[in-house]
Amino acid sequence: MGSPARAPLLVISPYAKPGYISADRGEFASFDKFIEANFGLPSLGERDALSRTSNLMDFFDFSNPANPPNTKLIEPLLKYSNVLLPPHDATPVRHDGPATTLLPQDGGPNTPFVYTVAYTNKTPPAVHDVIVDGHPITMTAEKKAGGSQIYQATTTLAPGNHRYSFRFSDGTSSWTLPVNNVPYYGPMVAPFDLTNVIAGSKYRVCQTGEPCRISVTYTSPSGRTPTVANALIDGAKYPMTPGRGKVTTGKTYYYTSSSLPQGGHYLQLEFNDGSGLRDFQEVEFSITPVRLHESKVVPSSGHTSTVFTFSTVYTGPAAAKYVDVVVDGVAHPLSYVSGSPQAGATYSTTMSLPAGTHTSAFTAGDGTSAWSNPESPRVYTGPKVAAAGQPVPRWRIIAPPPEPGGEYSYDGS
């Protein structure tokens, strides 16, 4: 149920409708659609072509002449402090933990919600709380990143809509986040749990023309069977079919399609147990004719004399034109070992490496489509190599931080 966070949008313009809140479905492609609507341009892709995607024009009233823009900056008028920061503002925390103050943004009664904030003051805080619905929860110092101390608190919550804020004090000064004392919204907690969201495979990849199965496990502590169970794919609604299991311990709901077009897609889950419709946030999955999986490096550490084996499995409608491993930015071709493109063809190569910690990535193509693992331009870290006569370092192959809704084939062993 982990998913990209909902993003707020604040419209500032002489033409903006004062106090207006839009009910249209906006998303990041709405900015493209706004430009297209403004200049009469065609759609760039599938997302901005969807009729339900807002072009943001409803925020504006162009019927009256614009007032002269106010040249005063807004930010200096706000009481601001950089002692408490969302983790994505405390670079490079975004590469060393969650990039939001709350994960996940929605869930059920058994979902562990993690609150995260970055504290930049050198004096340790005497008070370090997240305030959820007016009740303080003590946060714990977890790690340091980017010159900030990361504090976290994990809790489950009762069904309903919640609010939260952060309050810290070093005994002399106090700080809150948000700085305007208006709590953050979230999470939305349903009276049921949705877990084990799968789109095609655990890597959330399906192949063109092949059945792509969307599935989720629904669990209701009260034993309620859902009256609505839909998969929303790019805004289109598809009823899900009940499968195995019991609603009290976990029942599978699924939808299967062989006609989804090639490219990236966005999945939402829409469920109702009779208490009200719940719209769970998006996860991403892809429809691709080719892909790489089960990529690995064996061993994960060694000496300069160690022979390392890089291997991956290629799947596609036709034989690969190339399958490479890119080590420290240099591409090395992999050789075919066994299998078929349709069922999975294994490719591998061996090499020795100089002392140091290396990076690797795998890439392949059939002349029309290409695939990389992990997604370019990110790389796996490892193997780690010691000079001759030195102890073999303990190391595991480390995957880069996953994008929301994404997974990688391995994270070391």
Cβ proximity of 229 and 217 under 8 Å: no
Residue 93 and residue 174 in one domain: yes
In single-letter form, the type of residue at position 252 comes to T
Question: Do 183 and 226 reside in the same domain of the chain?
Answer: no
403 lies in some domain: no
pLDDT of residue 296: 94
Q: Both 2 and 60 in a single domain?
A: yes
pTM to 2 decimal places: 0.62
Co-location of 214 and 283 in the same domain: yes
Which residue, chain included where needed, has tokens 């405390």? Answer: 90
Number of domains making up the chain: 4
pLDDT number for residue 51: 75
Token pair for residue 236?
């289109």
Q: What is the CATH number of the domain that holds 103?
A: 2.60.40.10
Residue type, 410: Y
Give pLDDT, residue 76: 53
Segments forming the whole domain that contains residue 117: 84-189
270 and 199 both lie in a single domain: yes
253 and 204 share one domain = yes
Cβ–Cβ under 8 Å, residues 318 and 329: no
Same domain, 59 and 89: no
The whole-number pLDDT of residue 330 equals 95
Residue closest to 170 by CA, chosen among 118, 119, 122, 125: 125
Length of the chain: 413
Q: Does residue 249 sit in the same domain as residue 280?
A: yes
Return the SS3 of 202. Answer: coil
- What share of residues in the chain are helix, strand, coil (percent, to 5)? 5, 45, 45
Question: 2-43: per-residue pLDDT in tens?
Answer: 344 567 899 988 788 888 888 888 888 899 889 988 887 777
Residue 263, domain CATH: 2.60.40.650
The per-residue pLDDT for range 331-374, each reduced to its tens digit, is 999 999 999 998 999 999 999 999 999 999 999 998 888 888 88
Residues of the chain with pLDDT under 50: 1-4, 71, 73-75, 90-98, 403-413
Which of 236, 260, 288 is a domain's end point? 288
Whole-number Å distance between alpha carbons of 204 and 198: 6
Same domain? 213 vs 305: no
In a domain, 407, yes or no: no
Same-domain status, 199 and 184: no
Please state the separation of Cα 2 from the chain's center in Å.
7
Give the chain's count of helices (H) and strands (E): 2, 30
Q: Of 288, 320, 348, which residue constitutes the final position of a domain?
A: 288
Nearest in space to 378 (alpha carbons), one of 361, 364, 363, 395: 361
Residue 276 falls within a domain, yes or no?
Answer: yes
Is position 305 within any domain?
Answer: yes
Shared-domain flag, residues 142 and 219: no
Q: Point out the domain boundary residue: 288, 315, 341.
A: 288
Domain-embedded: residue 267: yes
Buried b (16+ CB within 10 A) or exposed e, 354-387: eeeebbbbbbbbbeebbbbbbeeebbbbbbbbbe
CB 380 within 8 A of CB 400: yes
Which residue shows structure tokens 């599938």?
46
> Do 89 and 153 fall into the same domain?
yes
